[in-house]
A and B are shown apart, each in its own frame.
Chain A
Amino acid sequence: MRSDRAGESWYERFLRWAGGEEPEGPEGPEDPERQEFQEYLEYIDAHGYLEFGAYRLMRWKERRAKGLIPDTAPAPHHQSPPPAQEVRRHRPGRLRGQLKLYWALSVGVTAVLSAVFLLVALSLPAFGDPQAPALNEVSERYLAQGTQETGAVNAVTGMILDYRAFDTFGESAVLFAASVSTILLLNRPGRRVRTFRGPDQLTNLLGRPLLPVILLFGIYVVLNGHLSPGGGFSGGAVLGGGLILASLVLGEERMEELLPGRRTTRLTAGCLLAYGVMKGYSFFTGGNHLGWDVPKGTAGELLSGGLILPLNICVGVIVACTMYTFYTLFLSGEEET
Chain B
Amino acid sequence: MLELLLQQRYYVAAVLLFSIGFVTLFLHPDLIKKIIGMNLMDTAVFLFLAAMGYVDGGRAPMVEEGVPASAYINPVPGGLVLTGIVVAVSTTALFLALTRRLYRRYHSLNLDVILMLAREGRPHREDEE
**Measured between alpha carbons, how far is A140 from B26 in the docked complex, in Å?**
43
Interface size, B (range): 35 or more
CB of A114 within 8 A of chain B?
yes
Decide if A70 is an interface residue (CB 8 Å cutoff). Answer: no
Partner of A178, one of B22, B90, B119: B90
Return the contact of A155 from the options B62, B94, B107 (Cβ within 8 A): B62
Decide if B97 touches A182 in the complex (CB within 8 Å).
yes
B36 at the interface (CB under 8 A from A): no
Q: For residue A314, give the distance in angstroms from its CB to the closest CB of chain B.
A: 14
- Cβ contact within 8 Å between A90 and B69: no
Binary per-residue interface labels of chain A (160-178) against chain B in the complex, 1 for a CB within 8 Å, 0 otherwise: 1000100110010011011
- Give which listed residue, B54, B113, B116, contacts A127 with CB less than 8 A: B54
Beyond A81-B108, A109-B26, A171-B83, 19 additional contacts (C-beta under 8 Å) are: A79-B109, A81-B113, A87-B112, A103-B26, A103-B27, A107-B23, A118-B12, A121-B11, A122-B12, A127-B51, A128-B55, A129-B55, A134-B52, A142-B75, A155-B72, A155-B75, A174-B86, A175-B86, A329-B97
- Selected from B76, B90, B115, the residue in CB contact (under 8 A) with A159 is B76
Q: Mark A122-139, 1 if CB is under 8 A from B, else 0.
A: 101011111010110011
Task: Say whether A270 faces chain B, with CB atoms less than 8 Å apart.
Answer: no
Residues of A within 8 A of B86 (CB): 171, 174-175, 233, 319
**Contact A140 B100, beta carbon cutoff 8 Å:** no
Residues of B within 8 A of A139 (CB): 69, 74-76
**Could you say which residues of chain B place their CB within 8 Å of the CB of A85?**
116
Number of residues in A with C-beta < 8 Å to the partner? 69
B109 and A159 contacting across the interface, CB-CB below 8 Å: no
Q: Are B83 and A167 in contact (CB under 8 A)?
A: yes
Interchain CB contact (< 8 A) of B61 among A138, A155, A171: A155
A119 CB to nearest B CB, Å: 10
Across the A-B interface, the 4 shortest Cβ-Cβ residue pairs: A178-B90, A106-B26, A114-B19, A121-B11
Chain A contact surface mostly: helix
Known: A78-B107, A160-B82. A122 touches B116 (CB 8 A): no
Chain B residues with Cβ under 8 A from A168's Cβ? Answer: 83
A177 to B93, CA, bound (A): 11
B16 closest partner in A (C-beta): A114
Q: Which of B10, B61, B85, B116 contacts A154 (CB 8 A)?
A: B61
Q: How far is the CA of A78 from the CA of B105 in the complex (A)?
A: 12
Contact present for B112 and A127 (CB under 8 Å): no
Q: In the assembly, what is the distance between CA of A111 and CA of B53, in Å?
A: 27
A114 contact set on B, CB distance < 8 A: 15-16, 18-19, 22
Is A146's beta carbon under 8 Å from chain B? yes
Say whether B22 contacts A113, CB under 8 Å: yes
Q: Mark B92-110, 1 if CB is under 8 A from A, else 0.
A: 0110111011011001111
Contact (Cβ within 8 A) B62 A154? yes
A6, CB-defined interface residue at 8 Å: no
The one of A153, A182, A231 that contacts B63, using a Cβ cutoff of 8 Å:
A153
A185 contacts B72, CB within 8 Å?
no
- Neighbouring B residues of A177 by C-beta, 8 Å: 90
- Provide the bound-state CA to CA distance between A276 and B61, in Å: 27
Query: Hey, what's the 0/1 contact readout for B59-76 against A, CB within 8 Å counting as 1?
Result: 011111000011010111
| Docked complex Cα distance between A319 and B83 (Å) | 12
Q: Which residues of A contact B89 (CB under 8 A)?
A: 175, 178
> Which residue among A128, A153, A333 has the maximum number of chain B CB atoms within 10 Å of its CB?
A128
